């Protein structure tokens, strides 16, 4: 049996560790794989994450999780960077990555500024304005997408 919200509890432990190392928690996942579990942390920092960064966080977090015993039974701890297609999770992410190419998927079809309805928007992120993600779409028009309508948003790799 899992004690409470694993991700929430682990996040509370991980955040001070990451802050002390100048890093941020991008996302956290916990899933059962058969009888065992897998706990995944995605971390980032200015300039990107190194293998040594992942090892340092894993070592510090693992020691505390062993003492706190939040996850009963066997589990694997994986710490990695969010990758080139980093998800945008917080309002601050939409400001931080303004100017970058992004892909935004919405829960329902929404119109762009030209009136074309769609669920997937790809273009240059301009930022967050009045609670809406503003972007200049790759094919020309702009779009303003209410943040609460965003199902998923990621940076797109630029060649």
pLDDT tens for 83-137 read 888 999 899 999 999 999 999 999 999 999 999 999 999 999 999 999 999 999 9
CATH class of 6-80: alpha beta
Find out whether 88 and 24 touch, Cβ atoms under 8 Å: no
Q: Where are the domains of the chain?
A: 6-80, 91-155
Question: Is this model's pTM higher than 0.95 or not?
Answer: no
Could you tell me which of 7, 2, 6 has the C-alpha nearest to residue 25?
A: 7
CATH number for the region 91-155 comes to: 2.30.30.520
**Dihedral angle computed from the Cα positions of residues 5, 42, 123 and 150, in that order, rounded to the nearest 10 degrees:** 0
């Amino acid at each position: 049996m899992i004690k409470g919200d694993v991700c929430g509890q682990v996040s509370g432990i991980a955040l001070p560790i990451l802050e002390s190392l100048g890093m941020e928690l991008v996302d956290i996942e916990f899933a059962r794989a058969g009888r065992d579990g897998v706990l995944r942390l995605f971390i980032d920092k200015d300039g990107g994450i190194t293998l040594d960064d992942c090892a340092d966080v894993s070592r510090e977090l693992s020691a505390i999780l062993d003492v706190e015993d939040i996850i009963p039974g066997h589990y694997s701890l994986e710490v990695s960077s969010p990758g080139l297609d980093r998800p945008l999770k917080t309002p601050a992410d939409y400001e931080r990555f303004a100017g970058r190419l992004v892909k935004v998927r919405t829960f329902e079809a929404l119109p762009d500024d030209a009136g074309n309805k769609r669920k997937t928007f790809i273009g240059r992120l301009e930022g967050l304005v009045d609670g809406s993600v503003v972007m200049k779409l790759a094919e020309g028009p702009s779009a303003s997408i209410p943040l609460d309508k965003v199902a998923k948003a990621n940076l797109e790799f630029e060649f």
